[in-house]
Amino acid sequence: MSSDAIAIQTAEAAGRPWVETLHEWVTTVDHKRLGIMYILYALFFLLIAGLEATIIRIQLMRPHNDFVSPQVFNRMFTMHGTTMIFFVAMPILFGFANYLVPLMIGARDMAFPRLNAFSFWLTAFGGFLLYFSFLGGNGLYGAGNAPDVGWWAYAPLTSRAFSPGNSSDYWTIALLVSGFGTIATAINIIATVICMRCPGMTLGRMPLFAWLNLIMAGMAILAISPLTAAQVMLAVDRYLDGHFFDTQAGGSATLWMHFFWIFGHPEVYVLVIPAFAFLSEIIPVFSRKPIFGYPVMVGATACIGFVSLSVWAHHMFTIGMNSYANSFFAITTFAVGIPTGIKIFNWLGTMWGGRIQFKTPMLFCIGFLFQFLIAGLTGIMLGTAPFNWQLSGSYFVVAHFHYVIVGGILFALFGAFYYWYPKITGRLFNETLGKLHFWLFLIGFHLTFDLMHIPGLLGMSRRIYTYEPGRGWDRLNLLVTIGAFVQGIAILVFVANLIISYFKGAKAGNDPWDAWTLEWSVSSPPPVYNFGSVPTVASRRPLWDLKHPEDPDSRYE
Amino acid sequence: MASRALGIVAFIVGVLLAAGLCVAKPEGDNPVSSIFDPRSTPADSINRLSHFVLGITGVVFLVVFSLLSYAVVKFRSRRAEAEREPAQVYGSTQIELAWTVIPILIVAVLFAATAQMIHAIQDAPEPAGAIEVTAIGHQFWWEFRYPKLGIVTANELHVPVSDPAHRTPTFLKLLSADTDHSFWVPQLAGKTDLIPNHPNETWLEPHETGLFHGECAQYCGTQHAKMLLRVYVDSPEDFKAWAHMQQQPANRDEKEAAGTHVFESTACLNCHAINGTNGTGRFGPDLTHLMSRRTIAAGAAENTPGNLRLWIQNPDAIKPGSLMPAMKLRDADLDALMLYLETLR
């Protein structure tokens, strides 16, 4: 294989006007630049949605608090949920996929670079459209409102009778637009992985990162399509007097629930499978061992992909399905735990017998393993339909899915940030600040989300803007809020680290972690065309083969 | 480094859980509605199942947590061997088979227990002595109708305690007048949604008298938070007395003619009904026995004359965004109306 990079033709040649640089970024079709734009865009919205979470937590800090009105509170949790899922988690994961998939499979770009740019701008405009509702939600007189129907926007709360004005329409159209962007990106990732692999890289030699993103993209197409269809139907209801979900005209509220959750549950896996992908790259490198059971890891993920398409109604155990339907969705929910468990054990198997280096990326991955274990087990509790009748709609559920998304996905994402930061910027991040970020965030996370389970067990419903004193929820909510502030400080440390290290960090070199996949064979940041000459690989760890010619992987595979 | 880190994590988690359980103690006379403190049949069956599930997940947690902790501590990189790469192991079919088969067995056990409990609760037959109630969710209050007893009330449900020898469970039909709601009283039963065009059913069979708190558990609009729910479980005698009282027509004392006139000649009657007047509105709670309820505005405030007066003049002061309009009555009219309402026992 060859790693002779072509000379870096930096876009930022000295002395060029900033307008030209800006123009280059706006019109770019380079997968790396689009990846970076996805990530920065998502970080921007992470700060906004984090601010919204802070407002929610301040309001709930004590009973009968009047920090914000009920109307504002309802908008905050709607916007927090919608933003975090559609305009933080999805774009940030797509950003990493965009940046890394071509580099890892030895390609010079995505299969459809223009479609790639188009998807990014659709997603970007979707986000800005959602936030424009603050101005335009009631028409264009500067007095607008954000949507307040909750992130799953159950019918008939979204019908014109209960949601006058345009705020719900901004929600609908924003998700419709970004949904098209997501579908296009998913198609692009599939085409790239299937068609653009370098010579020698059979499907069985692809890095797990590429495999898992391939499966994620397949799921994204299957999951986002029904949501997009439902948004069209909702728009028809609101503007053309359709009656799909309009219960006052004989429509069906449960139809919307099915449409939403057949998107909503696979969506969880669309988000968590890329997190699995990060772990499957980071844990082997910092354990100094290849991934344990590569074929089983691929198989288990594909299995998750299939089974998770048949679990959606476990979000709907309380809507009065019959006992057979409830039993069916209970067993499919339990079943999805089996391949997920296999994955956790295989990461454990990877660490077993290794030499684990506790660098910041690895710390976040270990945090993921412990927290995802707990999230999975509370998921089993929620899958037990009768237990779910007590837990559903309470703060226990809120704690559970934040355990998945923050304790799992976000921890893995932070790991990915620290792991690939040197590749993307060419600079090493500050390890001390990284560790500080990890420990602060870990403490804040557990303070907030461990304790948040308990008010749910004591009967506290979610989405309430205030509560009566003396029901055993007061002090717990105060502690949860304090934890949220600790997390906020940790996020600021993270952002500061990103910025400081970009300017002050030591030069990273091509391969700071002594890693094994192709992206580490090129310069940091990689040249525009990625590979001067297209590499040829003979095993799953091409750089291991290069560094250990006496004992290459290709001998065993 | 690693063992210390792990110790810190375990310590934090332990302290947090302990602290959580300590501060969760009840305070005042407002009961804590813990799902692990059931006082009624579906809730206690669920409680038993949840202990079983907690047991299984607890064991899984301990096993995997220990293995992970052991791996993190045992296989940490030591300075002396930092230069050497460890043995490169690619997998093991036997081990991977083991950690596939064991979870499958656990899932089978969990499913058997779950399916049995789903059937026992959902397909329970309604005994002859059951009390039938139709609960209708409104933005943002509860309407309760007892079709067999001819009673209509709001927000505070009264049911009799059930004696195993002579069962009187309560079977509820759940409807919605507008958006989705959910009926949840943790100590009595799990929640079931109230969905327009989609009638649902649930039941409860309390074995202890008392007041149990619940609330709407499905986001239903601006005042979802103050759509609270109280269930009074009465002794059979108390329930009979309560039902008898609720079946009486509204008090119609000539002394309160002025107040009655205010009620009948303003917008009150568009939404509220008082048995025996020309007010038959169903958009808001039935007021025939308003004073027999301890709270107003779906549990948002105590039912005191002061609160009631404030509620009529400025509902937003108690429950901003509720659908009760500010009535803007003249003081004299309000005084008369208050005198009248206070006689509605």
**Two tokens, residue B336:** 């008369």
pLDDT digits (tens, 9 = 90+) for B147-163: 999 999 999 999 999 99
8 Å CB contact between A513 and A285: yes
Among candidates B85, B89, B115 on the partner chain, residue whose Cβ is nearest the Cβ of A330: B115
How far is it, in rounded angstroms, from Cα B190 to Cα A402?
Answer: 23
Mean per-residue pLDDT, A491-502: 95
Instruction: List A residues 292-321 in contact with B (Cβ-Cβ < 8 A).
Output: 292-296, 318-320
CA of A494, closest CA in chain B: separation in Å? 20
Count CB atoms within 10 A of the CB of residue B163.
Answer: 12
pLDDT score recorded for residue A192: 97
CATH of the domain at A394: 1.20.210.10
CA of B160, closest CA in chain A: separation in Å? 22
pLDDT score recorded for residue A16: 79
Strands (E), A118-239: none
Residue with the bigger pLDDT between B217 and A140: it is B217
Residue A519 lies in a domain: yes
Residue A15 lies in a domain: no
> What range defines the domain where residue A66 resides?
28-555
How far is it, in rounded angstroms, from Cα A185 to Cα A118?
Answer: 9
pLDDT digits (tens, 9 = 90+) for A245-256: 999 889 999 999
Residue A7 lies in a domain: no
- State yes or no: pLDDT of A348 exceeds 70: yes
Residue with the bigger pLDDT between A384 and B87: it is A384
Residue A21 lies in a domain: no
Interface check A371 vs B, CB under 8 A: no
pLDDT digits (tens, 9 = 90+) for A362-377: 999 999 999 999 999 9
pLDDT score recorded for residue A135: 83
Interface check A235 vs B, CB under 8 A: no
How far is it, in rounded angstroms, from Cα A433 to Cα A431?
Answer: 6
pLDDT band of A557, cuts 50, 70, 90:
confident
- State yes or no: pLDDT of A141 exceeds 70: no
How far is it, in rounded angstroms, from Cα B318 to Cα B320?
Answer: 6
8 Å CB contact between A517 and A553: no
A344:B64 CB<8 A: yes
CA of A442, closest CA in chain B: separation in Å? 8
pLDDT band of B114, cuts 50, 70, 90:
very high
pLDDT band of B82, cuts 50, 70, 90:
low
What are the C-alpha distances in Å from A433 to residues A285, A421, A488?
22, 14, 15
pLDDT score recorded for residue A534: 92
pLDDT band of B14, cuts 50, 70, 90:
low
Residue A109 lies in a domain: yes
Q: Residue B210: how many CA atoms within 13 Å on its side-chain side?
A: 16
> Count of CB contacts below 8 A, A vs B?
328
A251:B87 CB<8 A: no
Mean per-residue pLDDT, B39-63: 95
B95:A349 CB<8 A: yes
Among candidates A287, A294, A378 on the partner chain, residue whose Cβ is nearest the Cβ of B91: A294
Domains and CATH numbers, chain B: 254-341 (2.60.40.420)
pLDDT score recorded for residue A7: 41
**Two tokens, residue B73:** 């501590």
For B51, which residue in chain A has the nearest alpha carbon? A387
Single-letter amino acid code for the residue at A140: L
B213:A450 CB<8 A: no
pLDDT score recorded for residue A556: 78
Residue A6 lies in a domain: no
Whether the predicted model's global pTM rises above the 0.95 cut: no
Residue A332 lies in a domain: yes
pLDDT band of A164, cuts 50, 70, 90:
confident
For B53, which residue in chain A has the nearest alpha carbon? A381
pLDDT digits (tens, 9 = 90+) for B257-283: 899 999 999 999 999 999 988 889 999
3-state secondary structure A427-482: ECCCHHHHHHHHHHHHHHHHHHHHHHHHHHHCCCECCCCCCCCCCCCHHHHHHHHH
Among candidates A338, A386, A458 on the partner chain, residue whose Cβ is nearest the Cβ of B107: A338
For B123, counting Cβ atoms within 10 Å of its Cβ (0-12 exposed, 13-18 middle, 19+ buried), the class is exposed
Instruction: List B residues 57-96 in contact with A (Cβ-Cβ < 8 A).
Output: 57, 60-61, 64-65, 67-68, 71-72, 75-78, 81-82, 84-92, 95-96
Interface check A369 vs B, CB under 8 A: yes
Q: How many domains does chain A have?
A: 1
8 Å CB contact between A203 and A155: no
User: Which residues in chain A touch residue B184, judged by CB atoms under 8 angstroms apart?
Assistant: 393, 459, 461
Instruction: List A residues 476-495 in contact with B (Cβ-Cβ < 8 A).
Output: 476, 479
8 Å CB contact between A517 and A1: no
pLDDT digits (tens, 9 = 90+) for A282-333: 999 999 999 999 999 999 999 999 999 999 999 999 999 999 999 999 999 9
How far is it, in rounded angstroms, from Cα B342 to Cα B345?
Answer: 7
Residue A430 lies in a domain: yes
How far is it, in rounded angstroms, from Cα A325 to Cα A323?
Answer: 6
- State yes or no: pLDDT of A225 exceeds 70: yes
